[in-house]
């Protein structure tokens, strides 16, 4: 492994994916350096979610390769599991476990995957709940929390596994407007701590503030990749311009 590999968290190379006859991802190549904060945007159906779901093996792909810190995804089940443990994922619909308390949601993988003792796991989880600013909700069930609180628990749950890369799949799309900020604030805090992240979002203000690169996708391809200042002020591609215009109006 040379120096450039050590600084790379994810390397996606010539990725191709089909749903039956539908070509969802067309020759995607993307390198995510350590500490990078990449925002993926684009119209619905452009393949953004499929792309980040490929990165932790939730979706299969047909051609190309994905390497997570040198571990190749999809070669066999053990490799995929190993790679998965390097990533944390936050879903649009939270996907908290409704039958477990907030604390148990956070400690489940610590205890069952990392084999941590209960006391230690509880302590670690409490630290992360503190970080997402809801330590007082630890013993409630997800159904008793607001959407914004649930999504912050989901972030804490993912952080507990000490991921090298955080994947966010439209983390605020299912939230009421007044709750979006509390979740974005937490993600912004993570970015400031140096967490590497890939984030699919329509929150362009957030992208402008947090991202160091914006990737614009359309019809399964990456059509533009630029720093946010450049992307928002003078997008090169006509389809990117069109997309930004629809967001403004």
Partner 1 sequence: MTTLDIWLGILQGCRVTASVTLYALLFAVPFGLAFGIAQYLTTGLLRFLVTCVIEFWRSSAVIILLFVFYYALPVVGVTLSAMTVAAMVLGLNTGGYASQAVRAGLQTLDHGQKEAGQALGLSRTAILVLIELPQALLVMSPTFINLLIQLIKATSLVSLITLTDMTFRAKEISQVHYEPVPIYLSLLLAYFVLCYPITLFGRWVAQRVTPGREVRRGV
Q: Site residues (CB under 8 A) for partner 1?
A: 56-58, 81, 84-85, 87-89, 91, 93, 95-99, 108-109, 112-113, 141-147, 150, 157-158, 161
Runs of H (alpha helix) within 161-203? 177-192
Cβ distance to partner 1 smaller for residue 163 or 228: 163
Query: For residues 110 and 222, which CB has a smaller minimum distance to partner 1 in the complex?
Result: 110
> In the complex, what is the shortest distance from the CB of residue 65 to partner 1, in angstroms, rounded to a whole number?
20
> Which uninterrupted H or E stretch holds 27?
strand 22-33
Nearer to partner 1, 11 or 84 (CB): 84
Tokens 């993570």 locate to 190
Q: What is the nearest approach in angstroms of partner 1 to the Cβ of residue 147?
A: 6
Query: Shortest distance, CB of residue 131 to partner 1, whole angstroms?
Result: 18
The residue (of 115 and 238) whose beta carbon lies closer to partner 1 is 115
Nearest CA among 73, 94, 97, 96 for reference residue 83: 73
Q: In the complex with partner 1, which residue's Cβ is closer, 166 or 226?
A: 166
The CB-of-64 to partner 1 minimum distance in angstroms stands at 21
Q: Which helix (H) or strand (E) holds 67?
A: strand 63-68
Q: Which residues pair with 224 in a beta bridge?
A: 216
Minimal distance, residue 13 CB to partner 1, in Å: 23
Minimum distance from CB of 142 to partner 1 (Å)?
Answer: 7
Nearest Cα neighbor of 178 from 143, 147, 145 is: 147
> Reduced to 3 DSSP states, what percent helix, strand and coil does the chain have, rounded to the nearest 5?
40, 25, 35
Find the shortest distance in angstroms from Cβ 81 to partner 1.
6
Q: What Å distances lie between residue 225 and 40, 160, 189, CA to CA? A: 9, 31, 24
Choice between 46 and 49, CB closer to partner 1? 49
Identify the residue whose tokens are 């970080």: 131
Of 76 and 246, the one with the shorter C-beta distance to partner 1 is 76
112 Cα distance to chain centroid: 23
Sheet holding 8-19, edge to edge: 22-33, 8-19, 63-68, 71-72
- Where do runs of H (alpha helix) occur along 56-113? 77-84, 102-112
């Amino acid at each position: 492994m040379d120096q450039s590999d050590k600084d790379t968290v994810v390397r996606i190379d010539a990725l191709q994916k089909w749903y039956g006859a539908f070509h969802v991802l067309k020759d995607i190549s993307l390198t995510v350096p350590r500490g990078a904060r990449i925002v993926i945007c684009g119209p619905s159906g452009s393949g953004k979610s499929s792309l980040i779901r490929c990165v932790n093996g939730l979706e299969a792909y047909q051609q190309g390769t994905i390497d997570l810190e040198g571990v190749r995804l999809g070669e066999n089940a053990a490799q995929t599991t190993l790679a998965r443990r390097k990533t944390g994922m936050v879903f649009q619909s939270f996907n908290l476990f409704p039958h477990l308390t907030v604390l148990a949601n956070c400690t489940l993988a610590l205890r069952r995957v990392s084999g941590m003792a209960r006391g230690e796991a509880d302590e670690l989880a409490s630290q992360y709940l503190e970080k997402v600013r809801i330590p007082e909700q630890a013993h409630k069930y997800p159904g008793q929390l607001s959407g914004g609180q649930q999504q912050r628990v989901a972030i804490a749950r993912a952080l507990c596994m000490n991921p090298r890369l955080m994947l966010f799949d439209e983390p605020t799309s299912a939230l009421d407007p007044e709750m979006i900020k509390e979740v974005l604030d937490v993600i912004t805090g993570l970015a400031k701590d140096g967490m590497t992240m890939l984030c699919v979002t329509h929150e362009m203000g957030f992208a402008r503030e947090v991202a160091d690169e914006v990737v614009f996708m359309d019809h399964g391809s990456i059509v533009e990749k630029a720093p946010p200042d450049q992307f928002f002020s003078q997008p090169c591609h006509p389809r990117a311009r069109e997309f930004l215009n629809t967001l403004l109006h």
